Structure formats: structure tokens, C-alpha cells
Amino acid sequence: RVFASVVDEDEPLQQLEARVHRGPVLNVALTESVMASSGVDCIINILSLDNLSVIHHVTTSPSPSGCLAFDRYGSGKRLFSGSQDGSIWVWDTKKASLTSVVHEGVSSAAVNSISCSADGTLVCAITEDGMVRVFRTSDMKMTRSGRPTAAG
């Protein structure tokens, strides 16, 4: 199940529920109008925030996507998902299609977190072994990678 609480300064709190996955939900990401959810069922659903109805869904087999991030600059047209094998999948949410799978700099560690820069030009992925990779979203080429070091 996916639950959403919608808060608007002019309207009271609204709570919506959608049964869109077979099993637990692993992650959600949202824009102003749509939400993406990934589950252990290896499906990513793109839902309307108006009523939580599924607009599109895509399959991420053979393993589920543990993290999601929208390209905020592109109004949610692209969705980045991190996989268990360390690769990054790039989805066109309007066409519900996979546009690329990025293997550059991949270790065998799962992607634990993924985030897109505010201007939409970079996406950063962090794997469970502590490796940080930064990519240009225009061509998904890696610009830097490494493990963070302590300050001081």
C-alpha cells in the first residue's frame, strides 16, 4: 500500500491510499504532480497525486529498485532508480520506457541512495560500500567518484 497525505494551505489534510504493489514499498519520490513508488515486486509505479491512480508502471527485473529520484529540472519527465547490482536506470516517465542503464564505475554494491541536483544537471549515487558517483544528466557520463573522507 502507498499512503499519501496531501497538505494544502487552503484545504484540510487529505489522506489517500493506493494498493499498487504486491509486497512492501521500498521507496517513493515525488514532484508537484506525480509520485513514483518502488516495491519488492520489481515494479515502479508512476501515480497521479490528485487521486493516487497509476499513470504508468515499469518493471525493474531481475531485482527491485531500492531508491528513486526525479529530475526536478525536467518537471518529472525523467526518473532515476538505483539497482541492487550498482547500476543506475534512467526512465522516461511520460513514455513509461527505459532510456538507459548506466554501468560506468559500477561496483557490485547496491545503490542505497540517489539524488538529482536542484538545477537538474547532476545526479549522485551512493552505494552500500560507500562509493559516491556523480554523473552529468545530459549524457550520464561520470564526472567524479570516490569515497568521502573525514574532515580535519
SS3 per residue for 54-111: EEEEEECCCCCCCEEEECHHHCCCEEEEECCCCCEEEEECCCCEEEEEECCCCCCCCE
Relative to beta strand 11-18, strand 132-136 is unpaired
Q: Which residues of the chain have pLDDT under 70?
A: 1-18, 61, 72-76, 104-107, 152
Task: Kindly report the pTM of this predicted structure.
Answer: 0.81
For residue range 133-143, list pLDDT tens digits in order: 999 988 999 99
